[in-house]
């Protein structure tokens, strides 16, 4: 309360009072606004430092309903569609059982390169044997013989059959012999007009092997893409346990063999023994004994440059057994020769 002597002084004091009151009120309001703004900015800076969607402000819906904000972590064991397996029981029990078949390793591939006689297997059917003679023909002889045969033999491409479908053999062939020869439903007619050089080579092979041959199948592999697939020379017309003599001229190709699988494995060749024999210019290879019964052989395609190669396979052909179509495998004949 202010003391004053005159109305004018009272009015003057009243104006001063109002001024002071307004000043204090405005100052108090300004302090509150500044503090509120400082708190808001501090809160924004704090939330800006936090990474992750859970730093968002709660939605209006959660505030109004009192529900938990979407950014709150959920308990997957109590949420709808729980992934917890703590309280679940299964009706199936898991037990370890020993494998019904023994675990087998794939045998390493064997490579035969050196001259020698090799017994590659012993089975109830007999001994399978390879005789390898690199350099059977010297390089000079092999060179001119290769060029002459390449130019003068009647090479042609034959049609073969697989599962009833015809296909062109990926090589050229020609046949010499008093009897025809049928394999894979393709028949090569008899041809007694032997090239003189082939007669000379047949005699040399007969002396080296101790066998006599009346027929010859010639194969020309023009490049690395020409080939012959897995097969055995086991037609009934070849007789039981035939000896096949193979003479190579030209570029080197790999002659591969794989053992026939046991009866219970049928056509499973994964775990069978395998052999690779590189056949170089002038090399003689003999397959004897049970080789055609227990092994298959092939000359596979190669995907790098290869020159032409001639392969002369000398063999003995017998008349086809009565009651069987030409080319029948010997295992299917009622009585083996």
Checking if the pLDDT of 82 tops 70, the result is no
Angle at 108 (CA atoms; ends 103, 114), nearest 5 degrees: 155
Question: Is 133 in contact with 208 (CB distance < 8 Å)?
Answer: yes
Query: Exposure string (b/e) for 49-75, b if CB count within 10 Å is 16 or more?
Result: eeeeeeeeeeeeeeeeeeeeeeeeeee
The pLDDT, as a whole number, for residue 329 is 77
The pLDDT, as a whole number, for residue 53 is 47
Question: Is 115 in contact with 132 (CB distance < 8 Å)?
Answer: yes
How far are the Cα atoms of 19, 20, 30, 109 from residue 25, in angstroms, in the given order? Answer: 10, 9, 9, 103
Task: Using a cut of 0.85, tell me whether the model's pTM lies above it.
Answer: no
Identify the band that residue 162 occupies on the pLDDT scale cut at 50, 70 and 90: confident
More confident residue, 135 or 5: 135
Residue 7, domain member (yes or no): no
Percent of the chain with pLDDT over 90: 55
More confident residue, 175 or 337: 175
Mean pLDDT of 101-112: 86
DSSP letter at 320 equals: P
- Name the 3-class secondary structure at 86: coil
Query: What does the mean pLDDT of the chain come to?
Result: 81
Residue 186, domain member (yes or no): yes
Residue 169, domain member (yes or no): yes
Number of folded domains in the chain?
Answer: 1
Measured between alpha carbons, how far is 16 from 20 in angstroms, rounded to an integer?
6
Checking if the pLDDT of 137 tops 80, the result is yes
How far are the Cα atoms of 97, 103, 139, 267 from residue 100, in angstroms, in the given order? Answer: 9, 9, 55, 19
In this structure, the strands spanning 284-289 and 244-250 are antiparallel
Query: Exposure string (b/e) for 167-184, b if CB count within 10 Å is 16 or more?
Result: eebebbbbbbbebbbbbb
Checking if the pLDDT of 279 tops 70, the result is yes
Residue 120, domain member (yes or no): no
Residue 177, domain member (yes or no): yes
Residue 244, domain member (yes or no): yes
Mean pLDDT of 127-143: 98
Identify the band that residue 3 occupies on the pLDDT scale cut at 50, 70 and 90: very low
Residue 170, domain member (yes or no): yes
- Domain housing 285: 129-332
The pLDDT, as a whole number, for residue 93 is 67
Residue 103, domain member (yes or no): no
The CATH number for 310's domain is 2.60.120.590
More confident residue, 125 or 33: 125
């Amino acid at each position: 309360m202010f003391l004053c002597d005159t109305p004018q002084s009272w009015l003057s004091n009243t104006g001063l009072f109002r001024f002071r009151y307004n000043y204090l009120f405005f100052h108090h309001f300004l302090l509150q606004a500044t503090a509120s703004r400082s708190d808001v900015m501090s809160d924004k800076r704090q939330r800006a430092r936090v990474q992750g969607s859970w730093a968002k402000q709660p939605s209006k819906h959660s505030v109004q309903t009192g529900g938990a904000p979407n950014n709150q972590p959920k308990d997957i064991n109590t949420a709808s569609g729980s992934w917890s397996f703590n309280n679940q029981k299964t009706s199936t029990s898991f037990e370890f059982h020993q494998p019904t078949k023994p675990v087998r390793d794939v045998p390493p591939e064997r490579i035969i390169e050196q001259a020698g006689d090799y017994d590659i297997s012993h089975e109830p059917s007999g001994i399978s044997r390879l005789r390898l003679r690199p350099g059977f023909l010297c390089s000079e002889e092999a060179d001119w013989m290769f060029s002459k045969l390449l130019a003068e033999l009647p090479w042609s491409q034959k049609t073969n059959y697989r599962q009833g479908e015809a296909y062109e053999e990926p090589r050229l062939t020609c046949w010499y012999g008093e009897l025809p020869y049928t394999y894979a439903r393709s028949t090569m007619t008899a041809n007694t007009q032997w090239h003189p050089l082939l007669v000379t080579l047949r005699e040399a092979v007969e002396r080296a092997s101790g066998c006599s041959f009346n027929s010859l199948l010639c194969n020309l592999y023009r490049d690395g893409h020409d080939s012959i697939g897995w097969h055995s020379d086991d037609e009934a017309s070849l007789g039981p346990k035939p000896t096949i003599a193979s003479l190579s001229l030209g570029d080197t190709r790999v002659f591969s063999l794989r053992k026939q699988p046991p009866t219970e494995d049928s056509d499973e060749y994964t775990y069978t023994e395998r052999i690779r024999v590189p056949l170089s210019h002038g090399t003689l290879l003999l397959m004897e004994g049970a080789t055609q019964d227990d092994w298959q052989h092939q000359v596979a395609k190669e995907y790098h440059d290869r020159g032409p190669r001639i392969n002369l396979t000398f063999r003995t052909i017998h008349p086809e057994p009565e009651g069987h179509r030409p080319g029948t495998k010997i295992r299917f004949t009622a009585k083996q020769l």
